[in-house]
Amino acid sequence: MPITEYLERNASLYPNEVALVELNPEENRSKKVWKDYSLIESTEEKASRKQLTWREFDEKANRFANVLIRLGYGRGSKVAILLMNCLEWLPIYFGVLKTGAMVVPMNFRYSSEEIQYCLKLSESDVLLFGPEFIGRVEELEETYQSNVRMIYVGEGNCPTFADDYYEMVKGANDRFSTVDMCDEDYAAIYFSSGTTGFPKAILHKHKALVHSCKTEQAHHGQTHDDVFLCIPPLYHTGAKMHWFGSLITGSRAVLLKGTKPDQILSAAADEKCTIVWLLVPWAQDILAAFDRGELKPEDYDLSRWRLMHIGAQPVPQSLIKRWLTYFPNHQYDTNYGLSESIGPGCVHLGVENVNKVGAIGKAGYGWQTKICDDNGCEVKPGEVGELCVKGPGVMVCYYNDPKATSEVLKDGWLFTGDMAKTDEDGFIYLVDRKKDVIITGGENLYPVQIEDFLSSNPKILDVAVIGLHDSRLGEIAAAIIELKPGEYCTEQDINTFCLRLPRYKRPRKIIFAHVPRNPTGKIEKPLLRRKYGSESLIDDENKA
C-alpha cells in the first residue's frame, strides 16, 4: 500500500481530532483589547499556536494534489520542498505523494549553489520555498537560470518569479481521485548529510516509508492517545519517520519552532506530550539549566511524558545517567539509522534495555545486521568492523550515481560506513565513522570513544575529537572542547583528567572552542578539520 492511505484512513476515522499543532514561542500572538475606553493591540505571552484536524490535513493535501495534476505534474515528476517546519509542510508532502510524483525534501541550510545542485541531481520539476529562502532562490534564478517551476509558500509579498501557493490552492477541490499506486512505486528522494562533499540523492519506494511507520510504532508502542513533540527539521528522515508513529496511530503531534530548554519543557507540559525526541545538544542544555538552577523540573506538569529518546548521533552514557536522575520514571530509548535506511530504527536499543545505555541496540523491527571487515567477512564479537544492515527500508539507490550505489549496496546489504562492535549479549556499540578513524603511529583511534570519556567531565558541555596531520605520527587526536557556561578549565586540567585513558588514546592537542552541530545534531567534523587542520600544518613547520 502507498503511505498516503494512512492519511486518508485517519481523515475518515478521526476527522475532527487534532492531527498537527504548530507552536512558535518566538511569535507572540496579538489581539485587540479594550483599555481606557480605547481598542489597542495587546501581545499575549503564550506562544503562537495553530492546529489542523485530520480532515483538514487531508483536504489540504488534496487541494495541492489537484493543483499539481492541473499543472501537468504527476507520476514521474519530482517536487522539492524547501520550508522551515510549519503546518503546511506535511500536507504539501502528502499532496505530492497522492499524485504519484516523488517528493524531494531539502535541507534549509543549503546555499543557492547547493539548492541548484540538488535540484539538478534529483531532476526536480517544481520547488516550493518559504519566505526565509527568497534571497537564495532569487540568486538561484539569476545565476543558474533554473527552469524549475517556483512556488512560494508565504503570506503576501510573493516574488515575481514564483507562483503563490495560497492563491493556487484557494479554489482547488478538497477531494482527490486517488492515483493508482502500490508499495513498489517510487516515493521520495532524500539527501545525505554531504559530509564528504555535495549531498547524494537517496531514492526510496513507498514500501520503505510504510515500513518506517511500522518500525516506529513497534519500537515505541504509540497508541491513539499519545502526543509526540517534534522539534527537528521535517526535511530530515529522523524527524519525519519518528512522526510516522503518530501517522500510523492517528495520534496528535506538536511541531515546536524553538529549541530553548524552557520552550521544550513548556511545550511538553502545555500540550501534555507523552513522547519527546531530543538531540544531544538540547538534552545537554536542559540538564545544564537544571544544574544551574535556572529551571526546575517540578515547575512543569510533565506527568504524561513517558518516553525520551535520542538518535542521529552517538549518545554519551553520562548524559543519560544524568537525565534519569532528574526524570527517574522516564523510559529511555535510542535509535540508529541513516537516510539510506529510511531514517531511524534499523538498529534499536529498546526501552527495556536501559542497563545497556551506550549501545545502539540490536537489529530493529524487520531488519538484519552484521559487522564486517574490509573483505566483507563477518568479524567475531568484540572485534571492530563496518556495520551493515538489510531490510525493507534500504534505499533503491543513489539516484543518478551507480558508482556510489555499488560501493555501499552489496547483495541487498547496506554498508553504513559506521564502525561498530558487539558485546557478549549481541548489543551493537558504535565505535566511529569509518572516515573519522584516526591512525596515529599505526594505532587506530576511534574519536567517539574519546568523546564519550571526555563528556563525563562535569565541566564539559560538548566535545569533538578529530585527527590532525602530524609529520611523525601521521595523525594526532585533537579535542575541541566547549565548556559549560561559567566554568573554567585549562589544558593541563584536561590532560590530567585524561590520565585515566591509555596513553595512545589521549588527545595530543586541546582546543577550547564552540562545537558546531548540524540541524540533526551531528558534529560538523569536516568544518572542524578545515578550520584547525591548517593550524596543525603550521605547528609541524614550526617543529621542523
112-152 pLDDT tens trace: 888 999 999 999 999 999 999 999 999 887 776 678 999 99
Q: Which residues, in sequence order, are bridge partners of residue 477?
A: 467
Contact 330, 305 (CB under 8 A): yes
Residue keyed to cell 499506486: 181
pLDDT for 428 equals 94
Mean pLDDT of 58-72: 97
As a whole number of angstroms, the distance between CA 65 and CA 59 comes to 10
As a whole number of angstroms, the distance between CA 308 and CA 316 comes to 15
- For the ranges 326-335, 437-446, 480-489, which has the lowest average pLDDT? 437-446
Contact 301, 228 (CB under 8 A): no
pLDDT for 194 equals 52
Contact 172, 66 (CB under 8 A): yes
- For the ranges 145-159, 179-193, 373-387, 530-544, which has the lowest average pLDDT? 530-544
Helix (H) or strand (E) holding 4: helix 4-13
More confident residue, 313 or 157: 157
Nearest to 215 by CA among 184, 248, 172: 248
Query: How would you label 333-363 residue by residue, b for 16+ Cβ within 10 Å and e otherwise?
Result: bbbbbbbbbbbbbbbbbbbebeebbbbbbbb
pLDDT for 33 equals 41
Nearest to 482 by CA among 465, 496, 463, 468: 463
CA 158 to chain centre: 29
Alpha helix locations (H) across 72-149? 89-98, 112-122, 134-144
Tell me, yes or no, whether 452 lies in a domain. Answer: yes
As a whole number of angstroms, the distance between CA 4 and CA 91 comes to 11
Domain end, chosen from 187, 205, 223, is at 205
What does the DSSP 8-state code read for residue 148? S
Residue keyed to cell 541496540: 361
Mean pLDDT of 430-438: 75
Number of separate domains in the chain = 2
Domain end, chosen from 205, 222, 246, is at 205
Is the pLDDT at 249 greater than 90? The verdict is yes
Domain range for 50: 43-205
Mean pLDDT of 70-81: 96
Tell me, yes or no, whether 130 lies in a domain. Answer: yes
What does the DSSP 8-state code read for residue 75? T
CATH code, domain carrying 511:
3.30.300.30
pLDDT for 20 equals 98
Is the pLDDT at 544 greater than 50? The verdict is no
What does the DSSP 8-state code read for residue 484? P
What is the DSSP pairing of strand 126-129 with strand 149-152? parallel
pLDDT-derived band at 39 (thresholds 50, 70, 90) equals: very low
Tell me, yes or no, whether 249 lies in a domain. Answer: no
Is the pLDDT at 399 greater than 60? The verdict is yes
Tell me, yes or no, whether 101 lies in a domain. Answer: yes
Q: What percent of the chain has pLDDT above 90?
A: 64
pLDDT for 26 equals 77
Contact 365, 389 (CB under 8 A): no
pLDDT for 175 equals 95
Is the pLDDT at 34 greater than 50? The verdict is no
Residue keyed to cell 519527546: 276
Contact 275, 249 (CB under 8 A): no
Is the pLDDT at 498 greater than 80? The verdict is yes
pLDDT for 312 equals 61
Nearest to 43 by CA among 26, 25, 29: 29
pLDDT in tens, 526-543: 788 888 875 544 344 334
What does the DSSP 8-state code read for residue 379? P
Tell me, yes or no, whether 51 lies in a domain. Answer: yes
Q: What percent of the chain has pLDDT above 70?
A: 90
What does the DSSP 8-state code read for residue 231? -
Contact 525, 195 (CB under 8 A): yes
- For the ranges 210-214, 342-346, 374-378, 502-506, which has the lowest average pLDDT? 502-506
Tell me, yes or no, whether 195 lies in a domain. Answer: yes
User: How far does the chain reach from its first CA to its final CA, in angstroms?
Assistant: 66
User: Would you state the cell numbers that stand for residue 381, as one nine-digit string?
Assistant: 564479537
Question: What Cα–Cα distance (Å) separates residue 171 from each residue in 30, 166, 177, 303, 311?
Answer: 29, 9, 17, 44, 41
Domain end, chosen from 205, 225, 254, is at 205
What rounded mean pLDDT belongs to the chain?
88
- The packing angle between helices 89-98 and 54-71, to 10°, is 50
pLDDT in tens, 439-474: 776 566 778 788 888 988 999 999 999 888 876 666
CATH code, domain carrying 182:
3.40.50.12780
Mean pLDDT of 43-50: 68
pLDDT for 358 equals 83
pLDDT for 281 equals 79
pLDDT in tens, 287-309: 999 999 999 999 999 999 999 99
Mean pLDDT of 317-327: 90
User: Would you state the cell numbers that stand for residue 521, as one nine-digit string?
Assistant: 545534531
Can you spell out the DSSP letters for 355-368?
GGBTB-BEE-TT-E
Contact 219, 249 (CB under 8 A): no
pLDDT in tens, 505-534: 889 999 999 998 876 667 888 788 888 875
Tell me, yes or no, whether 305 lies in a domain. Answer: no
pLDDT-derived band at 46 (thresholds 50, 70, 90) equals: low
Contact 108, 129 (CB under 8 A): no
Contact 462, 493 (CB under 8 A): no
As a whole number of angstroms, the distance between CA 19 and CA 250 comes to 7
As a whole number of angstroms, the distance between CA 259 and CA 279 comes to 10
pLDDT for 354 equals 86
Is the pLDDT at 31 greater than 80? The verdict is no
Tell me, yes or no, whether 392 lies in a domain. Answer: no
